[in-house]
Amino acid sequence: MTGRSWSLRSRLIAWLLLPLSLLAAAMVAAAYFNAVYSANRAYDRILLASALAIAERVVLEDGDLDVDLPYVALEMLSSSTQDRVFYQVIDGKGGIVTGYRGIPNLAGVVTNEPVFFNAAYRGFDVRVAELTRTARGRQGNEQFTVRVAQTTSERRRLVREIVTGAIIGLVIVLALVGIITWVGITWGLAPLGSLRSAILNRSSEDLRPLATNVPREVDSLVASINSLMARLDESLQTMRRFIADASHQLKSPLAGLRTQTEVILKHSKPEDDRGPYLELRQLILRASHLVDQLLTMARAEPGGGGYAKEPVDFEKLAKNVTMAWVPRALEKAVDLGFEGGTRGAVVRGDPTLLEEMLANLIDNAIIYSPENSDVTVNLGAPWNDQVVIRVEDAGKGIPESERGRVFDRFYRPAGSPAGGCGLGLAIVREIAEQHGGAVRLLDGKNGKGTSVEIRLPCISAAGRPDILQ
């Protein structure tokens, strides 16, 4: 199982900051070497000045070298408490005229130019300046060498300060670049977020082309999505047309079969075996109900032929549908009643589809209710621009685990009575959503049975006496 891939924002920031980080590391290295060079250059000048000051005070008297050491020349080197200074003057034979013994030298290097090098002396890292000059006297000339060594603590401190300052500056720059990059990429990716929201906020039936403004780089992606949605919409339209056409074509043969079965049953004799014909009639009724459900579903779906949008007196409609199902309820010894309702329960939509929606709810409630029980259609007064209707039965109820699936097409919970086709609640939800409403399942009174609640946008009839005429 592979892990989640990096987001586009993370990839862009990584590709931008990684080269910048490498460049920053190179700049830190360059700053270090430049700091070392600058520190050596600055302190080497002081070393050279001290060496020259000592060399100027070397004289040749009676064939021997003598040094009138200018301590003022060394004060500039020893002014720091962090560093120590060592010096020596060597005659042409290698003997020490004055100063410290053992100061390192560059073996085999003889030049009139000043020489600087790093060495170790008495456990310290030192920087040595070496200068060779010639002393002139009455009896001749003699070459001598002046060496001045200084510990490198101050140099290292200066290098650290320079490098630390460079690192802090680069870190601040990188942080600012990172923040600016993050804000810029977020702003640049905002159209993709809008595209994502536009897709997520759509229902599964909404296959219209996406009209979100996106950068040119994403145009091809949006065009591909729109092309896919167009092909999918065409396939769904073809499927809906096929279901509607097939259902229409099946209605006439089923009606004929039902008529013929009724005729056979009517003219059969008592001694005849009527069982197969009764079973055939029941199967025909079930098939006819399925065809009617399929036709209703095809019409209720988006693109299924559309529906009229007109003001509908929902209270009157609900009462009429309830009354129409009373005979069916009496056949099963179920007491079907209507409660509530008030003028102003007006919705905008298709009366035929709304009747189908309520009819499916009442039909389901009667099917799942036992004999000698109650089914109640309760219409609440309009509130908060909504009308709420509930159909409650006294059946065994729907478990919580099943409530998310009973709205799926052709799904029937275990133990469902015979005769259903699993489309009733799917049609109810489809019609409710097409009218801007919603459906949810609740427990019935006292925790028994099921209550199906539908909420629909309500049109206020106040000040509109003609709305229901």
| Contacts of 275 by beta carbon, 8 Å cutoff, 6+ apart | none
- Please indicate, yes or no, if residue 408 is contained in any of the structural domains: yes
pLDDT on residue 129: 92
- Please indicate, yes or no, if residue 90 is contained in any of the structural domains: yes
In the predicted model, residues of the chain with pLDDT beneath 70 are 1-4, 70-81, 107-111, 204-205, 212, 239-252, 254, 269-274, 277, 281-282, 284-308, 341-344, 409-422, 460-469
Same domain, 312 and 268: no
> Residue 36 sits in a domain of what CATH number?
3.30.450
Same domain, 374 and 296: no
- Of 263, 287, 306, the domain-final residue: 306
- Please indicate, yes or no, if residue 412 is contained in any of the structural domains: yes
Same domain, 128 and 18: yes
- Of 136, 160, 184, the domain-final residue: 160
pLDDT on residue 118: 92
Same domain, 298 and 316: no
Q: 360, 427 in Cβ contact below 8 A?
A: yes
Find the domain containing 330 and state its range. 307-457
Pairwise CA distance, residues 275 & 268, whole Å:
11
Report how far apart, in Å, the C-alpha atoms of 425 and of each of 67, 146, 244, 319, 407 are: 115, 106, 19, 20, 5
3-state helix, strand, coil in the chain (%, to 5): 50, 20, 30
- Please indicate, yes or no, if residue 422 is contained in any of the structural domains: yes
Same domain, 316 and 302: no
Same domain, 19 and 141: yes
- Of 241, 272, 306, the domain-final residue: 306
Tally of structural domains, the chain: 3
Same domain, 58 and 116: yes
Same domain, 86 and 129: yes
190: left (phi over 0), alpha (psi -120 to 50) or beta: alpha
Same domain, 254 and 154: no
> 319-360: per-residue pLDDT in tens?
898 898 898 888 888 888 888 766 667 888 888 888 888 888
Same domain, 268 and 335: no
Q: 59, 68 in Cβ contact below 8 A?
A: yes
- Please indicate, yes or no, if residue 272 is contained in any of the structural domains: yes
> 163-184: per-residue pLDDT in tens?
999 899 889 988 898 888 888 8
Same domain, 400 and 373: yes
- Please indicate, yes or no, if residue 193 is contained in any of the structural domains: no
pLDDT on residue 462: 42
Q: How many CB atoms lie within 10 A of CB 244?
A: 17
> Residue 241 sits in a domain of what CATH number?
1.10.287.130
pLDDT on residue 142: 87
**Which three-class secondary structure string do you get for 242-286?**
HHHHHHHHHHHHHHHHHHHHHHHHHHCCCCCCCHHHHHHHHHHHH
Same domain, 270 and 348: no
- Please indicate, yes or no, if residue 87 is contained in any of the structural domains: yes
- Please indicate, yes or no, if residue 359 is contained in any of the structural domains: yes
> 50-79: per-residue pLDDT in tens?
888 888 888 888 778 888 776 665 665 555
Pairwise CA distance, residues 277 & 269, whole Å:
13
> Residue 426 sits in a domain of what CATH number?
3.30.565.10
